[in-house]
Amino acid sequence: MSIKYSNDKIVIVKGDITKENTNAIVNAANSSLMGGSGVNGAIRSAGGSRISDECRAIISRIGKLETGEAVMTSGGKLEAKYVIHTVGPVWKGGDESEEAQLSNCYINSLKLAAENGIETIAFPNISTGVYRFPKDLAAKTAYFTVKASLEKYQNINQVRFVCFDEYNYQLYLKLLSSDKKDNINLLLDFIPYFESNKNKFCTFTQPEKGEDENIYTSYPSYDKGLTDFIDIVYETGFLKENYLECLKEEKIENADNSEIIEIIRESDLLLLRSILTYFVRQERFCDGLWGEAAKDKIFLNILYRLREL
């Protein structure tokens, strides 16, 4: 199965975080913000002494950091403008709130990022090296904490999980794809609705004369099933974010519905999202476009393709 999303806020990367060009990268630091090995060592050697100087200044101002806290320095010579330093928990068997503390690392880092207008940020797999936090539990904690926080911090456009080792990389890829799959399953539940011939999908009201004597044109009224479907499309984040880009990229603006059904037959997930976005976003007050697309079996064909993926 190849799932391709272009506009998702969560991206999984394999590699060295010091090379990332996000606005900020996060450091898996220690409570005294001293140099260390692992990702901390790599960030300091790539970023230069300015980062350590700023760390020292922070410690002399506020004292040692608690586990889960986050502070920010500049990025020195790094491509990223800022480094957010957060202290992950040392794994002690799991009964000492390690999971909640790890969650706090991500929450506090994102909070700090949002407060400072940072739009893109890269995280390492905090605590999974020297601090020995089990990698699969750390990945789940990180992924779901970030996903929930992104709802709150809408101005953060992208979070990259930068995995240094293959094991972590595979864990994150699995989390991301099963998350997407759950979303797709929610949409697939609508197949019987679109297959049923009993639905009208869309009816139009009669034109009416208003109190001002003007004639007001008819407007579409949709089946509950159709509006539920659109709600789920929104809720699952299945839409491509940038509607205009989606039109340009996929050249679907001028295709008629039968041509679009042809395109759907060949589409990957990315293109299916664009087509869905096109129909959902292009809704105008009177045109009943969702109803047309439902009648022409556009949505049904998209769902059939999703079922195959």
- Which spans of this chain sit near ligand APR (rule: CB under 6 A)? 16-18, 28-30, 36-42, 88, 124-131, 162, 164-165, 168
Shortest separation between residue 196's beta carbon and ligand APR, angstroms: 50
Nearer to ligand APR, 36 or 75 (CB): 36
Nearer to ligand APR, 27 or 277 (CB): 27
Nearer to ligand APR, 143 or 279 (CB): 143
Nearer to ligand APR, 64 or 307 (CB): 64
Write out the DSSP string of 113-163. HHHTT--EEEE--TTSSTT---HHHHHHHHHHHHHHHHHH-TT--EEEEEE
Shortest separation between residue 135's beta carbon and ligand APR, angstroms: 7
Do 22 and 287 contact (CB within 8 A), yes or no?
no
Q: What is the DSSP letter of 260?
A: H
Instruction: Check the CA dihedral 120-125-131-133 and report its sign.
Output: positive
Shortest separation between residue 113's beta carbon and ligand APR, angstroms: 18
Do 29 and 87 contact (CB within 8 A), yes or no?
yes
Nearer to ligand APR, 164 or 194 (CB): 164
Report the distance separating Cα 39 and Cα 41, nearest Å. 5
Shortest separation between residue 144's beta carbon and ligand APR, angstroms: 18
Which token pair is 305? 């393709």
Shortest separation between residue 35's beta carbon and ligand APR, angstroms: 7
Do 202 and 294 contact (CB within 8 A), yes or no?
yes
